C-alpha cells in the first residue's frame, strides 16, 4: 500500500532511518494542520483582539481627517458599552478602516494600558494594502458604507445599552437639564453617521414597535358595544408627531442629497409641523 514501508525497505533504512522518516512525516503533517487551521481562521474574518502596537498606519493618505470631537465621543461610548464595530486591517495589519476607533483606543490606553492595550479587529487575509491600494480604498469605502446602512434594531439596541449604563442620557428634545446628556448625538458620534440619520432609525423602530403591539383603529373605539369618540386635540397632536417622524426619516435619506430643492421644502414643512406641535 502507498505510504507504507515494506519489510525490505525497513531493513535497508535501519531503525534509525525509519524513525527519522517517521519524525519528518509527522512534522510535515503537523505543519500542514497548522497551515489549514491558520487559513481557516483567517477566512472566517472573525473579530479578534490585537495589540494596538501591532497595528500599522495606512500606506495611503487618509480619506478624511480624524475629528478630535468624534474621538472623544467614542472614548466615552467604548467605556460604557464597548466597541460596537471592530476596525478593519489588511493581512499585514495595516489600518484600512477605523481611524477614529483606533485613536479612541490609543487615548484609552494612556488612561489604563493594561485594560485597553488590545482592540477588536477584523483582518482581511486576501488584502495587501501596499500592493493593492485601489482595492484597499474600495474596502474602506465598503466598510464605511456598511456603517451607514445601520438597521433600526442595531441603533435601538445600542440606545438601550447606553441608557442602562448611564441614566443621565435622554432622548427628550429641547434644552437639557444640568447633568443630562443628549442620547441621539452621542449615538451619531459612536456610529460615525449624522444625528438626523440616527433619529430617523430610532423613530422607525418605535413606530414598528407601536404598530406591532396595537391594532389599527379609526377615530373611534368599540368598547362594550359603545362607540368611544377620541379627543380631537389629542388625535391632532398624535398625527402631527407621526408626520414629523416621517419627515425626519425622509430628510435623513441619502437619496435627498441630489434633491436640494425637495429637501429644502421638506425642511420648511417640518418647521410648520413643529410650530403646530408647540402651539
CATH value at residue 99? 3.90.1530.10
**Domain edge (last residue) among 117, 149, 181:** 149
Q: How many domains does the chain have?
A: 2
144 with 158, same domain: the answer is no
User: What's the CA gap between 143 and 157, in Å, rounded?
Assistant: 20
Looking at residues 6-15, what average pLDDT do you find?
A: 52
Q: Tell me, yes or no, whether 111 and 168 share the same domain.
A: no
76-85: pLDDT as tens digits = 889 988 888 8
* Any domain includes 33: no
**Residue 99: inside a domain, yes or no?**
yes
Asked if residue 192 is part of any domain, the answer here is yes
Residues 103 and 131 in one domain: yes
Asked whether residue 113 is domain-assigned, the answer is yes
pLDDT for the residue 262: 73
What's the whole-number mean pLDDT along residues 101-119? Answer: 94
Is the same domain home to 168 and 62?
Answer: no
Please give the pLDDT value at position 91: 94
pLDDT at 259: 66
Band of residue 255 on the pLDDT scale cut at 50, 70, 90: low
Is 246 found in the same domain as 170?
Answer: yes
DSSP alpha helices (H): ranges in the chain? Answer: 7-43, 68-81, 99-111, 133-148, 152-165, 183-191, 195-213, 232-252, 260-278
- The last residue of one of the domains, among 121, 149, 177, is 149
- Segment 214-225, tens digit of pLDDT: 554 444 444 444
Q: Looking at 128, 149, 170, which one is the last position of a domain?
A: 149
Residue 14 lies in a domain: no
Let me know whether 248 and 196 are in one domain: yes
Could you list the residue range(s) of the whole structural domain that residue 61 is in? 48-149
Task: Assess whether 190 and 176 both reside in one domain.
Answer: yes
The answer to whether residues 159 and 272 belong to one domain is yes
| Judgement on whether residues 96 and 144 belong to the same structural domain of the protein | yes
Residues 130, 88 within the same domain:
yes
Flag whether 223 is in a domain: no
pTM of the model: 0.53
Per-position DSSP letters for 68-110, written without gaps between them: HHHHHHHHHHHHHH--SS-EEE-TT-BEEE-HHHHHHHHHHHH
94 has a pLDDT exceeding 60: yes
What's the chain's average pLDDT? 75
Question: Does one domain contain both 90 and 141?
Answer: yes
Query: What's the pLDDT at 10?
Result: 47
Amino acid at each position: 500500500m502507498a505510504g507504507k514501508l515494506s519489510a525490505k525497505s525497513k531493513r535497508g533504512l535501519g531503525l534509525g532511518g525509519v524513525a527519522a522518516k517517521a519524525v519528518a512525516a509527522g512534522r510535515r503533517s503537523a505543519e500542514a494542520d497548522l497551515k489549514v487551521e491558520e487559513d481557516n481562521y483567517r477566512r472566517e474574518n472573525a473579530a479578534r483582539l490585537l495589540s494596538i502596537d501591532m497595528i500599522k498606519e495606512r500606506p495611503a493618505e487618509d480619506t478624511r481627517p480624524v475629528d478630535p470631537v468624534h474621538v472623544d465621543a467614542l472614548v466615552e461610548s467604548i467605556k460604557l458599552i464597548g466597541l460596537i464595530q471592530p476596525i478593519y486591517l489588511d493581512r499585514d495589519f495595516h489600518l484600512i478602516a477605523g481611524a477614529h476607533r483606533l485613536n479612541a483606543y490609543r487615548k484609552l490606553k494612556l488612561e489604563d494600558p493594561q485594560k485597553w492595550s488590545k482592540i477588536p479587529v477584523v483582518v482581511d487575509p486576501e488584502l495587501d494594502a501596499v500592493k493593492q491600494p485601489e482595492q484597499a480604498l474600495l474596502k474602506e469605502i465598503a466598510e464605511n458604507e456598511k456603517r451607514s446602512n445601520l438597521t433600526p434594531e442595531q441603533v435601538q439596541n445600542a440606545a438601550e445599552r447606553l441608557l442602562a449604563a448611564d441614566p443621565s442620557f435622554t432622548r427628550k428634545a429641547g434644552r437639557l437639564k444640568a447633568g443630562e446628556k443628549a442620547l441621539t448625538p452621542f449615538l451619531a458620534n459612536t456610529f460615525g453617521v449624522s444625528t438626523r440619520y440616527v433619529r430617523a432609525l430610532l423613530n422607525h423602530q418605535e413606530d414598528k414597535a407601536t404598530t406591532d403591539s396595537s391594532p389599527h383603529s379609526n377615530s373611534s373605539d368599540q368598547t362594550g358595544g359603545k362607540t368611544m369618540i377620541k379627543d380631537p386635540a389629542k388625535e391632532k397632536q398624535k398625527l402631527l408627531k407621526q408626520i414629523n417622524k416621517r419627515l425626519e426619516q425622509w430628510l435623513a435619506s441619502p437619496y435627498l442629497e441630489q434633491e436640494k430643492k425637495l429637501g429644502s421644502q421638506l425642511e420648511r414643512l417640518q418647521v410648520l409641523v413643529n410650530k403646530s406641535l408647540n402651539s
